[in-house]
Amino acid sequence: MTAHMSPGQIARYCARTLTPPEVVAFHEHLEVCRECRDAVAEATLAGLPSTVVPILNMPGTQLISAHLTEEEMVAFVDQRLPGAAAHLSICELCRDSVAAMEFERDFISRPAVSRRVPWFSMAGALAAGLLLAALVHYWPGHPAVLASLRDAGGTIQLDAGENLRGLDNASPEERGLVIDALKKQSLPAGPRVPVEGPGVLLAPDAAKPEFSLTGPINTRVLSDRPLFTWKSYPGASAYQVVVTAETLDPLARSGRISDTQWTPETPLPRGVVLLWQVRAWKGGEMVSAPAPPAPPARFEIASAQIAARLQQLRASPQPSHLLAAILSAREGLRDEARRELQSLARENPDSPLPGKLFGEDLKNPR
């Protein structure tokens, strides 16, 4: 790299907004360009708090004659000069320099000796020390990883500093939800459909225990044309599904059908509590489920906004099952969340985290 670093690049370096590859390239350029080293040292001195390199604020301090040489620092990093610890205990500038060397050895995966900066000399101790202190300030360390999952075509990772890697296309609010879920290892608790007392739907006969509904019951669903299912009534020749508002005003009704499932032809309203009931005919007899004293079967349909967002996530070439599960759970769509976490578990067969997030064994059939 022959061209000098621009003022904008230097400002971004000091502001810690360069990407890791850009920082590595930046350091390699500084090794061969004194003008840029001086410019960075000047910018760093202006921007660093005094607590980072307090030795610079000590009047009369002789910076050049009291510091370790580069070779001594490298030997200390390689554990060949333990006696240098005495000097490092009282010299923060050399400690910062050694810390930067240790960082490069441990996190850039290059031996400390091969990364020695040829421009670190006794005459350049001040500028080099400032730059190396800035390096430590730029990358203060790598906190421990709290959670890591394969998802969205890559890896989603959360560390102890609450830094989330991955999900770059998620909104700040969504990333906050993911961080919270991974920290707590549980999905957000969404709204639930209230379960009320005995119902008032049509019930010409007493309730039949062998005839009951299977879903949706006391839950939220995503589709505005949900699939209604029920157990068969022995000997029944036909069934009819009736969907009403809480006021019992009818919203949808099937014809007489022989199957034990039905999907309405037109969309049902979202965001309101709905009731449904199935009637069965056996000869001249008609029975209903549910029937008093059983409570009515209630459900809600999620908002159009969350339905559109989940559809967008699933249509992505690399969908995030984790984000879809978290958004589903927040909206009370527990069945949707379970399906997404089952997909996530298949991508991470050795991780117990998807099951922990749901709070159940995802292998159990529903």
Domain annotation for the chain: domains and CATH numbers: 7-138 (no CATH), 145-184+303-358 (no CATH), 213-301 (2.60.40.1220)
Q: Is the pLDDT of residue 298 over 80?
A: yes
> What's the confidence (pLDDT) of residue 103?
64
Region 325-351 average pLDDT: 94
> What's the confidence (pLDDT) of residue 333?
95
> What's the confidence (pLDDT) of residue 291?
85
Region 126-143 average pLDDT: 53
Give yes or no for a cis peptide into 319 (omega within 30° of 0).
Answer: no
Q: Can you read off the two tokens belonging to residue 290?
A: 């549910």
pLDDT digits (tens, 9 = 90+) for 174-191: 999 999 999 999 999 888
Q: Is the pLDDT of residue 246 over 70?
A: yes
Of 2-6, 39-43, 51-55, 233-237, the poorest mean pLDDT is in 51-55
pLDDT digits (tens, 9 = 90+) for 249-296: 999 999 999 999 999 999 999 999 999 999 999 988 999 999 888 889
